[in-house]
Chains A and B, each alone.
Chain A
Amino acid sequence: MYKIGIIGKRDAVLGFMALGFSVHEAATVEEAAKELHMMARSQEYGVIFLTEDYAVQLENETARYRDLPLPAIVSIPGQEGSTGYGMSNLRRAVERAVGADILFKNNEPAQTEKEERNKP
């Protein structure tokens, strides 16, 4: 059994407490980084949610765990709403795999299908 963790500013993560998440408040980026490493190293967490405001700044820290099967570090929008960081993460994965951004360039699915066929 793994725990579900969440790191973020107090206001953003308080609600998750009621759902039984293991909530780690972090007022600053440094605190968030410390919590993140502690949680990732403990091997007790299956998923660690990280609010986008911190995720943007902890890019290098999360990259370290990217290719490990666990934990999954997933960014979710914070109180300020979505900044599009989560999507850009996904886009980067696509770029890494395909070599070009074929899904997000435009939102028309028909175009996407065509692009896909054209790929080498």
Chain B
Amino acid sequence: MAEIRVNPTRMEMKRYQTRYQTARRGHKLLKDKRDELMRLFLDVVREDKALRERVEAALKEVYGGFTVASAVSSPKMLQEALICPKKEGALEVDHKNLMSVNVPVFRLQVQAAGNTDRYNYGMAFTSGELDSALRALADVMEDLMRMAELEKTAQLLAEEIERTRRRVNALEYILMPQYLEIIRTIRMRLEENDRGNTTRLMKVKDMMVQAQMEQNAQADEDEESETSAS
């Protein structure tokens, strides 16, 4: 890790300690967010998986029905029967907030023109196979919409989880150790300065004591010589 140059002062240390605390709190929050997102995501994916299996099986049936229908009637007639729909499928899109991820909620709105039976062609020239294929397709519609919704949700959640995970890791493995390292460095420097100061004081005290002793000795000597002289 690259060494970061900081002033080894108590104030700077205090600042980094605050930043470390903030980072730790953020890290904990993001971790909780990630866990909750993951829980939601797995639920969504499980449901989507089951739904997709069901839809794919149902669509297979539908396509089979259409194949039979097109076999028993001419392509032109088939197209004529289907090309002008009586219904108009529209989608109402709501948004739901999942852990601050905006996901769409689809609601199908089928607007039928005129009478509301499901077939938009006369019975005269079409085959029964077409009827049943269409019915099967209409039945799978709800599931299709739900699947689209779930799949989009899964994609959006996956993106958010990835981003949150990166943030968590950045805090855990880069930012927080860095702060700790800085705080440690400053503490060491301060302690070292402290020790330097103490030894200097001890040294100065020694010198002062020495000087005092010398002075005292000098004074004693002077006194002695004075008394001997008198």
Contact = CB atoms under 8 A, between A and B. Distances in A.
Interface of A: 1-4, 11-12, 14-21, 46-47, 49, 66-67, 69-70, 72, 74, 76-77, 79, 81-82, 86-87, 89-90, 93-94, 96-99, 103-104, 116, 119
17 contacts: A4-B90, A4-B91, A15-B137, A17-B82, A18-B81, A18-B134, A19-B134, A20-B87, A20-B90, A49-B144, A69-B152, A72-B149, A72-B151, A74-B148, A97-B161, A103-B42, A119-B38
Given A4-B91, A19-B138, A46-B106, A86 B162 contact: no
A80 B109 CA distance: 29
A74 B55 CA distance: 12
Looking at chain A's contact residues, the main secondary structure is mixed
B10 interface: no
B46 interface: yes
Given A15-B137, A19-B141, A72-B149, A77 B42 contact: no
B45 A93 contact: yes
A97 B133 contact: no
Interface string B112-151: 0000000110000000000001100110010011011101
Interface of B: 37-38, 41-42, 45-46, 48-49, 52, 55-56, 59-60, 62-63, 66-67, 70, 78-79, 81-83, 85, 87-93, 95, 102-104, 106, 108-111, 119-120, 133-134, 137-138, 141, 144-145, 147-149, 151-152, 154-159, 161-162, 165
Contacts of A17: 82-83, 85
A116 B151 CA distance: 21
A112 to B, nearest CB: 8
Given A20-B111, A69-B95, A96-B161, 13 more contacts: A2-B92, A18-B120, A18-B134, A19-B134, A47-B91, A69-B102, A72-B106, A72-B149, A74-B144, A82-B60, A90-B45, A93-B45, A96-B162
Contacts of B48: 90
A11 B60 contact: no
Contact of B88 (A20, A47, A67): A20
Looking at chain B's contact residues, the main secondary structure is helix
Contact of B109 (A1, A67, A76, A86): A1
Contacts of A77: 56, 59-60, 63
Contact of A90 (B49, B90, B134): B49
A79 B152 CA distance: 24
